[in-house]
A and B are shown apart, each in its own frame.
Chain A
């Protein structure tokens, strides 16, 4: 079974605190108003730990790891 993940943001919960972009700048940058823009695609293996920290440390629980769509389709 594959373990590829991607980051998804709940845009309504997200308050633009910006912690995620500090923890994982490799994949998350902030837009002109301080809200996260997530790099497309799955999270490289070596960044999964940091991604999990970005998820855990979000003060409003707005960001989550999700098993990647592409992988699911391949598994069928």
Chain B
């Protein structure tokens, strides 16, 4: 069988593909188990939720710790503000995701599958609920649906477990990782919905899938979700999104926990998880954010920093107070102009915050800020006081 695409099949505007059409197109659900886990290790599929963890290795670890009581959490929280690909997949190809989840459950000997879906993703919730209803009784009995709050940290794997266990979607202290100790103390596989959809295709063809879902956002003519072949240059994806709507200054690759790259450098970068990692970059959750020349990067960064600080779950002091302080310093530079003291404080506080949260939220924010200060160094060191201008 030739390589398949996630979004192949009926027109996306029709909405959720029905089970009969899904089976007609792709055939019945293949078998999960040892050989599928080995296949996933060989294909080197990595998670598409943001962290990019090797899927086969994660399944192997959960299977080893499972003793028949593991839980699979299907992560459709999609709390990244500009990302739309997970909800598009849930609302249009729900059975691909369910196939992946059932294959995961069979492979790690799970007793339960939890569909963890952002509460604001209404179409996705409806589509997934209806799709579960189309499945046979044995499959239905395994699956339940939980609505996740629309917060940035709600998609963290320990937060998904915390919500399922205690109704609170905040991260918990790790180690141990959820793959060893998750829901009710059982080994838990937390896997992003796009990742599971890839698994559904890999299990059918026996070969690696060759595509990546990206969300092109910002200064393009037709922002939205695209399925591109792995290795497609960033510039080509931007062209597929209608091309830039105005001259471009830089791109944010991988969403808010990603990296800023100068436009000239970004166009030729390959959209491929492994290739980007080799360059010290990350595909993250697949967001390509396009920043136009007309927008002040410092003001943009300050706004995102305020958002990310407000998304701290306020549990760990260095994150709660540190991110606030960093966002305030960025805002002062943006509003009142560059101040040498604030630039120094940004460096010092970044170092103090790094690695000192229960989850990776503070680390992600610091990485975002460091990359911004590197890419927009001149703007940060020579920022005018904005209130003096009417711009």
Contact = CB atoms under 8 A, between A and B. Distances in A.
B349 A37 contact: no
A45 interface: no
Given A31-B322, A33-B321, A14 B316 contact: yes
B352 A11 contact: no
B352 A10 contact: no
Contacts of A13: 173
Interface in A32-56: 32-35, 37
Contacts of B316: 11-12, 14
Interface string B316-347: 11110110010000000000000000000000
Given A33-B317, A37-B352, A11 B322 contact: no
B118 interface: no
B356 A11 contact: yes
A14 B317 contact: yes
Interface in A9-37: 10-16, 31-35, 37
16 contacts: A11-B318, A11-B319, A12-B173, A12-B316, A12-B358, A14-B317, A15-B317, A31-B356, A32-B325, A32-B348, A32-B352, A33-B317, A33-B325, A34-B317, A35-B321, A37-B356
B178 to A, nearest CB: 15
Nearest to A16: B317
Contacts of A31: 318, 322, 352, 356
A70 B12 CA distance: 52
Interface of B: 172-173, 315-319, 321-322, 325, 348-349, 352, 356-358
Contacts of A12: 172-173, 315-316, 358
Contacts of B321: 32-33, 35
Contacts of B322: 31-33
Closest 9 CB pairs of A and B: A11-B316, A33-B321, A35-B317, A31-B352, A12-B315, A11-B358, A12-B358, A16-B317, A10-B173
Given A11-B173, A14-B317, 12 more contacts: A11-B317, A11-B357, A12-B315, A12-B358, A31-B322, A31-B352, A32-B325, A32-B352, A33-B317, A33-B321, A35-B317, A35-B356
A11 B313 CA distance: 12
Contacts of B325: 32-33
Interface of A: 10-16, 31-35, 37
Nearest to B321: A33
A10 B322 CA distance: 17
A32 B349 contact: yes
Contacts of A35: 317-318, 321, 356
Contacts of B357: 11
Nearest to B357: A11
Which of A11, A16, A32 has the most chain B CB atoms closer than 10 A to its own CB?
Answer: A11
A39 to B, nearest CB: 13
A36 to B, nearest CB: 9
A12 B170 CA distance: 11
A12 B315 CA distance: 5
A8 to B, nearest CB: 10
Nearest to B318: A35
Contacts of A10: 173, 358
Nearest to B345: A32
B219 to A, nearest CB: 37
Which of A10, A12, A34 has the most chain B CB atoms closer than 10 A to its own CB?
Answer: A12
Nearest to A35: B317
A9 to B, nearest CB: 8
A11 B315 contact: yes
Contacts of B172: 12
A6 to B, nearest CB: 14
Nearest to A33: B321
A47 to B, nearest CB: 22
Contacts of A15: 317
B251 to A, nearest CB: 33
Which of B173, B316, B318 has the most chain A CB atoms closer than 10 A to its own CB?
Answer: B318
B193 to A, nearest CB: 28
B320 to A, nearest CB: 8
Contacts of A14: 316-317
B46 to A, nearest CB: 25
